[in-house]
Chain A
Amino acid sequence: MTRKRSITPYTFLLPALVVLGIFVVYPIIAVIYYSFTDYDIATPPVWVGLDNYTKLLGDETFRLALVHSFVYLLVTPILIFLSIVLAIVVNRRMRGIHIFRALYFVPAVSGSIAIGLAWKWLFDRNGLINSVLLSWNIIDTPIQWLATPALVLPIAMLLTTWAGVGFYSVIFLAGLQNIPEELYDAALIDGCTNFQKHRYVSLPGLRPQIVFVTVISSLAALKVFDEIYVLTNRTGGILDSGVTMVFYLWKEAFQLNNAGYASAIAIALLAITLVFSIFNVRILESREEGVA
């Protein structure tokens, strides 16, 4: 360890702290200030006190965005379940298994706009899904998938799940490969079925990965934007059926020039994210104590 009084550690840290100071810390302070102002970015902000927040409380679209963002969190448990199953499936020595693992990763690297457009084309009124359903006589008239308010969010969530499973299963696969083989042998001797083997050996062994994926994927779900932007043609969907917190923030700030009001939305998003993170950590920690 180095001498205690030296500026060297700080010089190493300086560039990172400057960048994060300007582009993370300052913006948080500024956004708190803007949230108390009427601001359109072009002209200087005007102090309006709590006006934005009182408006927020009565705003039906905001309430909808809040609900949608919470509904979107359902993606997290689904993703975790499917990713663990997929990791178990690909965790075996078979010819060509590496090719399959790589294929499953493709949606995660392709970019949200590209895969969003691909999905939009599948679910278009003149898209493949309608074409298949019509030719199998399952439906008689084409379904307007993305113009049906009740379907916009589920389709976006399906897209997020489809794109994420391969990505997260790589994390779980690495976790599975760290579980000692002897534990599975012991389970076998105790007469465990295949299902029990995974329930009592794989699942506890994957704890760190489950914690990590829960945190990462739920934060991602709270911030979803790209999928909604593409699938709804940047409108947020009929009757705001696809509007999430970040989408609403973007729309108010950069489409409608209400940066002050959007800042209040941003503060609400920050508050929810903070509460949610604390909640996450608490639950996961208490579970850890339970296991130990």
Chain B
Amino acid sequence: MSTAGMAQIAEPVAVIQAHRRRPRRAAIVSSGLWYVVLITVAVITVFPFFWMLMTSLKGPGDPVYSIPPQFIPTDPSLGAYQRVLAALPIPTYFLNSLIVAVSVGALNVLVAAMAAYPLAKMRFFGRDAIFYALLATLIVPAQLTYIPSFVLSVNVFHYYNTLAALIFPNLVSAFNIFLLRQAFRSVPNDLIDAARVDGAGEWRIWWSILLPIVRPSLAAVAIFTFVTSWNDFLWPSLMLHTKDGLTLPVGLAALQSFFQSDFRSIAAGVTITVVPILLFFILVQRYFVKGLAGAVKG
């Protein structure tokens, strides 16, 4: 290669290198500015929660409304928490939410992983028709089905006012089937064929070859479904009406009508319900983000 050619290449490389290694001071100033942006967004995001927490901790001597506003309680008290816990069985709601969300999460993984296997790796009559029918169910707003589902719950399944009413209609979502179908498709066919030659049945292949390989996707589906179910409100509010039978979001809505304008107590109720799901999120954040990112690739 001629020297002229080298120079032509060297110039763009220099541009890139100059861009990547900026002088130190400029780098510090620019990263300082980025931190300002990042922190500003963080404050906007977190502030309503911070305000809730502070309001919930205000004692009798602290005004919840004043001009200018008082942010930090000077007379902190846990009184609001005591009132909330005395008025409503929050631990029971927590347990109810946990039972429903764990069941729905686990069963979704099972049922969706089963359905995804033939759709990803088998050839059979009606496969495409079934696939497109599943696709179509994604468009249907869930709320549209609530009237007939309500009638079914009272007249046919008799699970009105029980937690089963929250579990059975949500056993599987087409979205989860797609996610896992996508994951199964990335498993090499050779692996499955080799197992077949060795005499493994389809169930065996599914259980001992496919499921272990796609474990991260299974985790993502489980976690997503768990959080969605945990936060679900409209359907649970239609189904649950006994004082001890509510889930946390329904209980929280009940709390709002119970305490009316006692903002300290409402704030305490919100704080109590938000903390567990946030802790859960911190624990599983990695899977959450990966699953969300992976969902869009297909």
Contacts and interface: CB of A to CB of B under 8 A. Distances in A.
Nearest to A178: B297
B292 A277 contact: no
Given A9-B118, A24-B137, A126-B65, A86 B41 contact: yes
A114 interface: yes
B141 A121 contact: no
A121 B267 contact: yes
A79 interface: no
A272 B109 CA distance: 31
A20 B34 contact: no
Output the residue of A23, A124, A174, A262 with the most chain B CB within 10 A. Answer: A23
Interface stretch (A52-60, A102-110, A144-152, A284-292): A102-110
Interface in B91-128: 111-112, 114-115, 117-119, 121-125, 127
Given A111-B277, A117-B270, A209-B296, A273 B37 contact: no
Interface string A113-133: 111011101101011100110
A46 interface: no
Interface in A167-206: 167, 170-171, 173-175, 185, 188-189
B96 to A, nearest CB: 14
Contact of A102 (B143, B168, B282): B282
A219 B141 contact: yes
B19 A23 contact: no
Which of B65, B143, B144, B234: most chain A CB closer than 10 A? Answer: B144
B184 to A, nearest CB: 11
A132 to B, nearest CB: 6
A90 B19 CA distance: 19
A16 B111 contact: yes
A259 B54 CA distance: 43
B256 A226 contact: no
Nearest to B292: A170
A107 B118 contact: no
Contact of B292 (A9, A92, A174): A174
B34 A189 contact: no
B274 A111 contact: yes
B253 A230 contact: yes
A128 to B, nearest CB: 6
A126 B266 CA distance: 14
B194 interface: no
B24 to A, nearest CB: 15
Contacts of A118: 48-49, 51-52, 270
Interface in A223-274: 223, 225-226, 229-230, 233, 246, 249-250, 253-254, 259, 262-263, 266, 269-270, 273-274
B296 A208 contact: yes
Contacts of B111: 15-16, 19
Interface in B220-244: 227, 230-231, 233-234, 238
Contact of B65 (A131, A233, A246, A253): A131
Given A13-B115, A117-B266, A102 B285 contact: yes
B270 A219 contact: no
A121 B263 contact: yes
A283 interface: no
Contact of A219 (B19, B139, B269): B139
B80 to A, nearest CB: 13
B172 A16 contact: yes
A114 B274 contact: yes
Contacts of A61: none
A61 B18 CA distance: 62
Interface in A1-47: 1-2, 4, 6, 8-10, 12-13, 15-17, 19-20, 22-28, 30-31, 34, 41
Given A9-B122, A269-B144, A188 B172 contact: no
A259 B238 CA distance: 14
A188 B19 contact: yes
Interface of A: 1-2, 4, 6, 8-10, 12-13, 15-17, 19-20, 22-28, 30-31, 34, 41, 86, 89-90, 92, 94, 97, 100-107, 109-115, 117-119, 121-122, 124, 126-128, 131-132, 134-135, 162, 166-167, 170-171, 173-175, 185, 188-189, 208-209, 212, 219, 222-223, 225-226, 229-230, 233, 246, 249-250, 253-254, 259, 262-263, 266, 269-270, 273-274, 277
23 contacts: A1-B189, A9-B127, A10-B118, A13-B115, A16-B112, A19-B168, A31-B148, A105-B288, A106-B46, A107-B45, A109-B281, A111-B231, A118-B52, A121-B52, A170-B289, A173-B293, A174-B294, A208-B296, A246-B141, A250-B234, A269-B141, A270-B141, A277-B139
